[in-house]
Structure 1
Amino acid sequence: MKEISCKLLVIGAGPGGYICAIRAGQLGVDTVIVEAGKPGGTCLNVGCIPSKALIHAAEEFEKVAHMAGGKSPLGISVTAPVLDLARTVAWKDGIVSRLNSGVAGLLKKAGVKTVQGWATFRDGKTVEVETETGSQVIRAETIVIATGSAPVELSFLPFGGPVISSTEALALSEVPKKLAVVGGGYIGLELGMAFAKMGAEVTVVEALPRVLAQYDAELTRPVVKRLAALGIEVMTGAKAKGLSTKGDALLVETSDGKSGKVAADKILVTVGRKPVTEGWGLEQIDLDRAGKFIRTDDQCRTSMRGVFAIGDVTGEPMLAHRAMAQGEMVAEIVAGHKRSWDKRSIPAVCFTDPELVTAG
């Protein structure tokens, strides 16, 4: 079994992890980063970047479809457009692949050693990584946990078949004729609106009294108006109950207690994300938790000396740029600089149509 030692070990090469490793490398810290998948994490591979690419394609398609209907005030008319979603997804994959290479290149340029594989803690200073060529043990003075988050799965609507998460939604080869979206938060509405623009018949099922409940009602009114203009049916105060026997509809219970069905080829479940705290040996190091998340202070230190945690695994808001800011700060602390983390005015953008922007 091979062994290597380093000053800083970063587990997870998402926005928090790779920024932390690059900054540490730039500051002359001997750094190793471990990643089981492709560099870039959720944001680059199955989140922010691919979803914005798909949203952009949907907007372009809607513009042309608008012209085809003879509704363009500019007098432009075209024949009815056709969308080849498989080609759109291939274009999106090309963007992601290019950025994957960019991240890998930046890590290399900063002198960071990348180990491909799944890391498991042995103790607070040592991890074992299962790589393609066998086990590798890494000992480090300081460890940064940046394992990120994953979509929440509902026990009565497990992923598989017609039930998909945002990850599968970004890789469909054709636009579903009927799409049911479970959860009216930002992920559900961003993707729901995009698919509606591409020609899907979309129904949003939200248990709370209104969609985008984490935003001010005043701010969300223009979005609700646009949902109606796009022909998206919004069912608020409605609970998803499961899949129909034939698998062609979502079973729902409306606010008045009545049962109903929403016909759907695909059911997109977007009810939030959970921290990835299992499968990498958290029980070996026994860190304090804040609910499901790892508890950290204003320097992202955990309850164990020499172990930091950044990004989605540390709680809300689960935003790439928050993880990046934390990663940069931790790298500078490890290099001996004085830094702390202020979360009071983190900006956030919801990429619906129109977009919503908040800070603080």
Structure 2
Amino acid sequence: MRFAYDLVVIGFGKGGKTLAAAAAKLGKKVALVEASKEMYGGTCINIGCIPSKALLHLATHKKGASGYKEAIEAKNKMVAFLRQKNYETLLDAKVQVIDGTASFKDSHTLMLYHNDSCQEISADYIVINTGSLPITPQVPIHSDKVYDSTSLMQLSTLPAHLVVVGGGYIGLEFASMFNLFGRTPSKNTTKVSVLVRGATLLPKEDPAFRESIYESLSQKGVKILCGADLKTIEGDCIHYTQSDQEKTLEADAILLAIGRTPNTATLQLERAGIELGAQQEILTNEFLVANAQSEGNIYAIGDVKGGAMLTTYASLDDYRIVYDHLFGAKRRSIHNRNVLPEVLYIETPYSHVGLRAHEIKDKTFDTHSLKTTAIPGARVLEDTTGLLQVLVEEGTERVLGASLHCPLSYEYINLFSLAINQNLSFSTLKEMIYTHPSMMESLNTL
């Protein structure tokens, strides 16, 4: 039986759109289904990484209510431009973009709903790339001041007090951003409070970096409340308990940032024989095949398969695995992918790759540390916050992991990713000749 399409991708995210374009350039008949024209290009471009990091950057020189409004307008203009460019890129690649919400009829057939119409399409292969959605805490909420990470970036008025519920990467990034917007030369016009349910901030990080990040945010005016358990939200009041005491905060904006969940609810996956995990993520094999027990014609990439959320670069590597499995040598898999660096985009960014000290149980290693204050390049950038730490295996001198809380760490960390992936010795990095002044030249000392 010949299906209408060789490949259908559900969702316009990084991995899906890249796969769709690449397959079409091979001469395949390809369609990409997207539920909203406002999401052409995917989460990262429209409501995720790009707009949030653009706002963090704009906050360094646009201050107060007027500066914030200008920044939101600039962000919206940039997002509209990128959304259109992504759409045009797929059209140029001869990919058919179809507006609609998809659900499975069977393993080769999709029902597409758009406005009041419904159409049926079929394909040899289907790739699910529907991303993730913010989690709403299971507490009573009766307020029009509650936002998620998407809606908060549409707020045109700078809040006087923002309360962030959740101390993970998304919550801390927004806390830092709004603190920076409100930090004018004369005073802090925006108060920012963060409710962290756990006893410590960022518990998976090594203690030195938990403390460094906590101190840097606190010194800039972000109030971090650990051990804070949200109970209810009523109007502008957030009720929580801390140390068995009932407490209340008043705010004119409340960000819920307790995590994200795979976007699978409306797909009718059971009709295609696709199994879900405990977090409603699509279970896949090492080649990202979703229904490996049947025909194996359905793949899942990006956030929808669970794991680290909001990682566009991981989604891009998912594309590489699926492309190789469909059209290549079938050698790429999740078992031989490169290490995945992580970045916390706050005013002084924190980046990590590889192992943390508390995770190393079976190797003897040396810890190389350096305070950011010792780096001339950091003084040029007027930010000496934080420290750098590299873990090196004794004997082999292999880099096991790196943690960097310093300016430009999101660029710098890629050098350590390369070192880990290519088994470079720490001496190789140390003996390089680096540009001066720069952040990377600190390796000569570190």
- TM over 0.5: same fold? yes
* CA displacement, residues 210-235 of structure 1 (integer Å, 9 cap, x when unaligned): 22223333223332122112211110
Q: Residue 270 of structure 2 corresponds to which residue in structure 1?
A: 283
Q: Residue 218 of structure 1 corresponds to which residue in structure 2?
A: 208
The CA distance in 2 between the partners of 1:214 and 1:343, in whole Å, is: 22
1:316 aligns with 2:307: yes
The CA distance in 1 between the partners of 2:329 and 2:51, in whole Å, is: 35
Look up the SS of the partner of 1:189 in the other structure: helix
- Which residue of 175, 192, 197 maps to 1:202? 192
Residues 60, 223 of structure 1: CA spacing in aligned structure 2 closer, same or farther, 3 A cutoff? farther
Q: Residue 90 of structure 1 corresponds to which residue in structure 2?
A: 73
Query: How far apart are residue 314 of structure 1 and its match?
Result: 0.7
1:190 aligns with 2:173: yes
* CA displacement, residues 20-64 of structure 1 (integer Å, 9 cap, x when unaligned): 2112122332211100112122211111011011111112236xx
Residues 8, 239 of structure 1: CA spacing in aligned structure 2 closer, same or farther, 3 A cutoff? same
Residue identity over aligned pairs, in percent, reads 31
The CA distance in 2 between the partners of 1:82 and 1:136, in whole Å, is: 47
The CA distance in 1 between the partners of 2:57 and 2:141, in whole Å, is: 29
Query: How far apart are residue 283 of structure 1 and its match?
Result: 2.5
Look up the SS of the partner of 1:293 in the other structure: coil
1:334 aligns with 2:317: no
Q: Residue 90 of structure 2 corresponds to which residue in structure 1?
A: 107
Query: How far apart are residue 84 of structure 1 and its match?
Result: 4.1
Look up the SS of the partner of 2:88 in the other structure: helix
The CA distance in 1 between the partners of 2:117 and 2:224, in whole Å, is: 51
In the alignment, is the contact (CA less than 8 A) between 1:148 and 1:276 conserved in 2?
yes
* CA displacement, residues 227-272 of structure 1 (integer Å, 9 cap, x when unaligned): 112211110011111113xx12210100x20000111111111000
The CA distance in 2 between the partners of 1:182 and 1:168, in whole Å, is: 15
Q: Residue 229 of structure 2 corresponds to which residue in structure 1?
A: 239
Within a 5 Å distance, the mapping from 1:123-272 to structure 2 comes to 123-132=106-115, 134-156=117-139, 158=141, 161-199=144-182, 200-244=190-234, 247-254=235-242, 256-272=243-259
Look up the SS of the partner of 1:54 in the other structure: helix
In the alignment, is the contact (CA less than 8 A) between 2:5 and 2:30 conserved in 1?
yes
Look up the SS of the partner of 1:294 in the other structure: coil
Look up the SS of the partner of 2:61 in the other structure: helix
The CA distance in 1 between the partners of 2:247 and 2:8, in whole Å, is: 52
Letter in 1 for 2:28: V
The CA distance in 2 between the partners of 1:251 and 1:133, in whole Å, is: 42
Q: Residue 34 of structure 2 corresponds to which residue in structure 1?
A: 35
In the alignment, is the contact (CA less than 8 A) between 1:299 and 1:339 conserved in 2?
no
In the alignment, is the contact (CA less than 8 A) between 2:324 and 2:332 conserved in 1?
no
Letter in 2 for 1:353: E
Query: How far apart are residue 328 of structure 1 and its match?
Result: 3.1
Residues 157, 344 of structure 1: CA spacing in aligned structure 2 closer, same or farther, 3 A cutoff? farther
Count of residues in correspondence between the two structures: 337
Letter in 1 for 2:351: V
Runs (4+) of structure 1 exceeding 3 A deviation are 157-160
In the alignment, is the contact (CA less than 8 A) between 1:16 and 1:310 conserved in 2?
yes
Query: How far apart are residue 121 of structure 1 and its match?
Result: 0.7
Look up the SS of the partner of 1:59 in the other structure: coil
Query: How far apart are residue 336 of structure 1 and its match?
Result: 4.1
Query: How far apart are residue 133 of structure 1 and its match?
Result: 7.8
Q: Residue 57 of structure 2 corresponds to which residue in structure 1?
A: 56
Letter in 2 for 1:221: E
Query: How far apart are residue 343 of structure 1 and its match?
Result: 4.5
Higher relative contact order (CA 8 A, sep 6+): 1
Query: How far apart are residue 353 of structure 1 and its match?
Result: 2.3
Query: How far apart are residue 112 of structure 1 and its match?
Result: 1.0
Query: How far apart are residue 141 of structure 1 and its match?
Result: 0.4
1:356 aligns with 2:343: no
- List gaps (5 residues or longer) in structure 1: 63-80
Residues 159, 281 of structure 1: CA spacing in aligned structure 2 closer, same or farther, 3 A cutoff? farther
Letter in 2 for 1:142: Y
Letter in 2 for 1:307: I
The CA distance in 1 between the partners of 2:142 and 2:13, in whole Å, is: 23
In the alignment, is the contact (CA less than 8 A) between 2:239 and 2:247 conserved in 1?
yes
Look up the SS of the partner of 2:60 in the other structure: helix
The CA distance in 2 between the partners of 1:98 and 1:228, in whole Å, is: 36
In the alignment, is the contact (CA less than 8 A) between 1:222 and 1:354 conserved in 2?
no
Query: How far apart are residue 4 of structure 1 and its match?
Result: 7.6
Letter in 2 for 1:117: G
* CA displacement, residues 62-107 of structure 1 (integer Å, 9 cap, x when unaligned): 6xxxxxxxxxxxxxxxxxx663433321210111111111111221
In the alignment, is the contact (CA less than 8 A) between 1:207 and 1:237 conserved in 2?
yes
Q: Residue 68 of structure 1 corresponds to which residue in structure 2?
A: none
Residues 329, 323 of structure 1: CA spacing in aligned structure 2 closer, same or farther, 3 A cutoff? same
Tell me the C-alpha RMSD between the 2 structures. 2.0
Q: Residue 298 of structure 1 corresponds to which residue in structure 2?
A: 286
Query: How far apart are residue 157 of structure 1 and its match?
Result: 5.1
Letter in 2 for 1:33: L
| Larger CA Rg, structure 1 vs 2 | 2
Q: Residue 103 of structure 2 corresponds to which residue in structure 1?
A: 120
Q: TM-score scaled to structure 1, two decimals? A: 0.88
* CA displacement, residues 166-200 of structure 1 (integer Å, 9 cap, x when unaligned): 11111111111011110011100100111111221
In the alignment, is the contact (CA less than 8 A) between 2:191 and 2:221 conserved in 1?
yes
